[in-house]
């Protein structure tokens, strides 16, 4: 999970909520049986990231949604890395709540969206910010029209170009992977290599220090960690 979800869960724990954290397998995927076994009689909601921002794996969102519906609990997914990149059907996947971020699909920074299911169940949330009642009373304040329009237009373009882009990034992913596998030893491609978004590649070069590698490849867009944790030298908690 992204830290925005993990830190929110930790905050909820300080307010008396009980939170269960599940361990993914070595491919970064959460097993459906583990989810099923973790649901208790008093469980209110489950939250699972759609596409992981560091290793690109795609969780089995449809079956997780079906399980949550069967158990009569709400299902939230952080789709920030998925929106505009992979097909999403909130009805088929039984998604009750879905959060998205504009800049992750080539829109402007500072704008996001929250999908809230209104029928079966009819979800009602408390206001985040009180005031003039904008955004159906959930988040009051003058709306940033330029950000909204930019977000909407970016989402439209991504929807139109999604299939073409998927084929393109899949080709480049396979090309780079095949080339590196052929010419280098001691490399590990992290995360499931099948259930994934191919616009993300996460590699471990064994016995090589990350910062030194980045400095020697200054003509290539690379990172030794996610942008969200760029201020820390700690190893990735995802890996």
Q: What is the pLDDT of residues 19-59, one digit of tens each?
A: 999 999 999 999 999 999 999 999 999 999 999 999 999 99
Segments of the chain assigned E as strands: 45-49, 74-78, 97-101, 112-116, 187-189, 203-205
CATH 3.40.640.10 domain locations along the chain: 3-151
Read off the pLDDT of each residue in 121-138 and give the average, rounded to a whole number. Answer: 86
Closest CA to 1 of 21, 26, 27, 31: 21
Q: What is the pLDDT of residues 72-105, one digit of tens each?
A: 999 999 999 999 999 999 999 999 999 999 999 9
Q: What is the pLDDT of residues 163-195, one digit of tens each?
A: 999 999 999 999 999 999 999 999 999 999 999
**Alpha helices (H) in the chain, listed in sequence order:** 3-14, 32-38, 61-70, 145-183, 210-216
* CATH tag for 162-229 (out of 2.40.110.10, 3.40.630.20, 3.40.50.10260, 3.90.1150.10): 3.90.1150.10
Direct distance between the N- and C-terminal alpha carbons of the chain, in angstroms, rounded to an integer: 12
Catalytic center residues: 228
Q: What is the pTM of this model?
A: 0.89
* CATH tag for 3-151 (out of 3.40.50.150, 3.40.640.10, 3.40.190.10, 1.10.3720.10): 3.40.640.10
Residue 221, pLDDT above cutoff 90: no
The CB density around residue 154, as the number of other CB atoms within 10 Å, is: 20
CATH 3.90.1150.10 domain locations along the chain: 162-229
Tell me what percent of the residues of the chain surpass a pLDDT of 90.
75
């Amino acid at each position: 999970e992204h830290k925005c979800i993990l830190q929110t869960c930790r905050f909820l724990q300080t307010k008396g909520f009980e939170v269960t954290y599940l361990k993914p397998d070595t491919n970064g995927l959460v097993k459906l049986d583990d989810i099923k076994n973790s649901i208790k009689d008093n469980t209110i909601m489950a939250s699972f990231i759609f596409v992981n921002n560091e290793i690109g794996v795609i969780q089995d969102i449809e079956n997780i949604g079906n399980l949550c519906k069967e158990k009569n609990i709400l299902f939230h997914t952080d789709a920030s890395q998925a929106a505009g990149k992979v097909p999403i059907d909130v009805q088929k996947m039984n998604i009750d709540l879905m959060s998205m971020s504009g800049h992750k699909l080539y829109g402007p920074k500072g704008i996001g969206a929250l999908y809230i299911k209104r029928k079966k169940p009819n979800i009602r949330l408390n206001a985040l910010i009180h005031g003039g009642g904008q955004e159906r009373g959930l988040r009051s304040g003058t709306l940033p029209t330029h950000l909204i329009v930019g977000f909407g237009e970016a989402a439209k373009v991504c929807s139109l170009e999604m299939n073409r882009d998927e084929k393109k990034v899949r080709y480049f992913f396979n090309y780079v992977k095949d080339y590196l596998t052929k010419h280098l030893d001691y490399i590990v491609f992290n995360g499931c290599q099948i259930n994934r978004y191919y616009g993300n590649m996460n590699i471990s070069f064994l016995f090589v220090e990350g910062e030194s590698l980045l400095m020697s490849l200054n003509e290539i867009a690379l990172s030794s960690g996610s942008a969200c944790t760029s201020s820390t030298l700690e190893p990735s908690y995802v890996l």
